[in-house]
Amino acid sequence: MRLITNLLFPQPSSCALCERKAAQGLLCRLCQQDIEMIDGQHCERCGRPHEGLCDDCVGRPETFFVMNRSAVRYNEKMKEVMSLYKFRGQETLAPLLADLLIPAFTRYYSSLAVQAITFVPIHEQRLKERGFNQAQQLAFLLSLKTKVPVINLLERNRMTEKQSKQHRSERLHRLEHAFSLRPNPPSLGNVLLVDDVYTTGSTVNECARALAKAGMKVYSLTVAR
Ligand SMILES: [Zn+2]
Ligand SMILES: [Zn+2]
């Protein structure tokens, strides 16, 4: 795994986020310390640090996914990482994110018979701007490690605003039916949906709505939460 990702994404010797020397991975020790793993109690549905079901999960009118789990908290440091990766196109950060995602997969889903890994699609126009789909890249790296095949199952029906610019209620509403199943999907049972960040859960839920229509059971895994 390390070898392949090194070939795909050569690793620089200084920290990806600051001027200091990188430790073992892509970050220096200090930046690494700012990444907070999610462990301990979490909402059984969405994986947020919480005891029992959280308010978001209780209040969601319909839930189409079985559960979401996330590796780390979406704190300031992770926001910085994601913004460099997604909006500044720093693709060398992909293995760092995969290194967070893979242990979370092992921890939560290794005993689940996952038949396929799929990912949240981005709109064609955004794909052109960015040059890559971060969720697809992460799904691919996870697949290299787990040997579970990646299948591109979903398409995005319309362009949605950057989520951070919207209020929660708008966001929930605008994503409704934003995704659909690509033509002729294979018949699948347990499917793992990969994305970079879980915020309100509306993206995961809307993707799951489309997948569940075809009888799939959707489990979700994101880097940050
Ligand atoms: Zn650093
Ligand atoms: Zn929850």
CB distance 97 to 54 below 8 Å: no
**pLDDT tens-digit profile of 29-59?**
999 999 999 988 899 999 998 889 999 999 9
The Cα–Cα gap between 30 and 157 comes to 41
Output the pLDDT for position 161: 53
Give me ligand 2 centre to Cα 2, in Å: 33
**pLDDT tens-digit profile of 113-137?**
999 999 999 998 889 999 999 999 9
The Cα–Cα gap between 119 and 135 comes to 5
Output the pLDDT for position 6: 60
Find the mean pLDDT for residues 14-27: 87
Nearest ligand to residue 80 Cα: 1
Find the mean pLDDT for residues 48-73: 94
Nearest ligand to residue 96 Cα: 1
Give me ligand 2 centre to Cα 204, in Å: 12
Domain 36-224 top-level CATH class: alpha beta
Sort strands 217-224 and 190-197 into parallel, antiparallel or unpaired.
Answer: parallel
Give me ligand 1 centre to Cα 96, in Å: 13
Give me ligand 1 centre to Cα 17, in Å: 5
